[in-house]
Chains A and B, each alone.
Chain A
Amino acid sequence: MNPTPYLVLATILFTLGGAGVLLRRNALIAFMSVELMLNAANLAFVTFARMHGNIDGQIVAFFVMVIAAAEVVVGLAIIVMIFRTRRSASVDDASLLKL
C-alpha cells in the first residue's frame, strides 16, 4: 500500500493535536494533545521506515516513545504540584510570571 494515506493520517492527527494545544485551557487536555502530536510523528517515522526498507525509523519512534514517557512523568508531576498550590488545572491560572 502506498505510504501517502498513512502520511495524510499522520498530518491530520498532528494538526488535531496542535489544535488541542492551542484551543484548550485545561492543562491535562493540552498535555494529552502533545502526546497525540508525538504519536502522529511516530506514525510518519514508521511509515518512512517501511518505505525505505530501513529499520532506523522504527528505532527513532521507539526513542520518541521513551522520551514521551519521561516527559509525561515530569509534566504530570508539575501539573499536580501547580494544582496543589493554586487549586486549578487551567493553564490561564498559572500566570505568576506575568508582568
Chain B
Amino acid sequence: MSLLTAVAAQASETSTSSGTTGEEVLFWILAPLAVLGALGLVLSRKAVHGALFLAMTMVSLALLFLALEAPFLGVVQIVVYTGAIMMLFLFVIMLVGVDATDSRVETIRGQRGAAALAVLGVLVLLTAVTGRAALPDPIGTDEATPDGNVYAIADLIFGRYVWAFEVVAIVLITAAVGAMALTHKERVTRRLTQRELSERRFRDGDPRNAAGLPVPGVYARHNAVDTPALLPDGTPAESSVPAVLVARGAARPAEEFAEDIGEIGPHGQKPSGLQPQGEGDQPEGDATAGEGGPNDDVPADDGGADDDGARPDQDEADGGDAR
C-alpha cells in the first residue's frame, strides 16, 4: 500500500504541471506494477512465483487496456490470459516443476554476459526511439466506434477480417487436436499385474527393499514425513524420505535430527538417577492421595516427579528401539 500511495503521490506531482487526468494517475500506478511483475518473472527462482508475477503484469496491462479505450480487449486479456493461459501454466508447473529450481551453470561460455549486453542494447535503442519520437496526442476512438467499442470490433471481425477470423478458428482447433495428440500416451505393453510387479522387485531391485522402502519419520521424538527413519545403527535411512521432498529441498537435513538426538540424550540420563526415588515414593504418594489428607499438594508433586521419572525411561526404551 505504501508503494501505491507513493506512486499516486508521484503521479499527482507530475500531473500538476500539465493538467491532472485520472488516466495519468492510473498509468503511473499500473506501469510500475507491470514492470515489477516482469522483473519478478525474470528473477524468481521458482516457476510458480514467476507465473504469479506474470499474472500481476497481465492484470495491470488489462487495466491499461481499459484506460486506452479498449474495454473489450481489457476483458479478453483477463479472461484469456490470466484466466486461461496462466492457469494452464500453473497446471503444467504442477505436473513438471517439482525440480523447478533453475541451474546456474552456463552451458555456452559467456552467454549470460552477451545476453545481458544485447538486452541492454535493445532496451536503450527502443527506449531512445520511442521516448524521443514526437508523437501527436491521441485522436481517441470515439469517432471510429459510434456504437461503442464492442460493436465496432464485432463489425470489423465479422466484416473486413472475417477471413482471418476463420483461419484463427482453424488454428485453434488444430492446436487443441495437436495438444491431445502430443500428450496422448499409447500403451504399447500389457499392464503388469501386482504379482508380476512383486516378482520383478525381488528379481531386479535391491533385495533389502523387497518388502518396500522404509517408512519415514519413525523416530523417537519426531513423527513427520520430512524426517528420515533411523537405521539400527543410528544412521538415517535416506531412502525413507519421499523423493519429491528431497528434490524440493524440503527434507530435514541430517544435522537437525542430530540435534534431536542430543536433546533426548541428556534428558534421558538426568532423571535416571531420580528414577528409583520416584518409584519408591509412588506407593506412599498414592496412599496419601487416596486418604485425602491435609497435605494434598505433596502427593501431587510426587506424582509429577514420578511422571518425570517414568517418561525418560520410556524415551530411553524408544531410543534403544530406534537405534
A36-B57, A43-B64 in contact; A19/B85 too (CB < 8 A)? no
Interface flags, B31-74, vs A, CB<8A=1, else 0: 10011001101101001001100100110010011001110110
Give complex CA distance A36, B39 in Å.
11
Indicate if B4 sits at the interface (CB-CB under 8 A): no
Residues of B near A89 (CB, < 8 A) are 47, 96-97, 99-100
The answer to whether A76 touches B179, judged by C-beta atoms less than 8 angstroms apart, is yes
The answer to whether B112 touches A76, judged by C-beta atoms less than 8 angstroms apart, is no
The answer to whether A70 touches B175, judged by C-beta atoms less than 8 angstroms apart, is yes
Give complex CA distance A61, B161 in Å.
13
Interface flags, B134-176, vs A, CB<8A=1, else 0: 0111111111110001001100110001001000100110111
The answer to whether B116 touches A59, judged by C-beta atoms less than 8 angstroms apart, is no
The answer to whether B35 touches A74, judged by C-beta atoms less than 8 angstroms apart, is no
The answer to whether A46 touches B65, judged by C-beta atoms less than 8 angstroms apart, is yes
A1-B24, A22-B119, A65-B77 in contact; A47/B41 too (CB < 8 A)? no
Counting from the closest, the 5 A-B pairs by CB-CB distance are: A53-B139, A70-B175, A22-B115, A77-B179, A16-B38
B interface list, Cβ under 8 A from A: 21, 23-24, 27, 31, 34-35, 38-39, 41-42, 44, 47, 50-51, 54, 57-58, 61, 64-65, 68-70, 72-73, 76-77, 80-81, 84-85, 88-89, 92-93, 95-97, 99-100, 102-103, 105, 107, 111-112, 115-116, 118-119, 122-123, 126-127, 130-131, 133, 135-145, 149, 152-153, 156-157, 161, 164, 168, 171-172, 174-176, 178-179, 182-183, 185
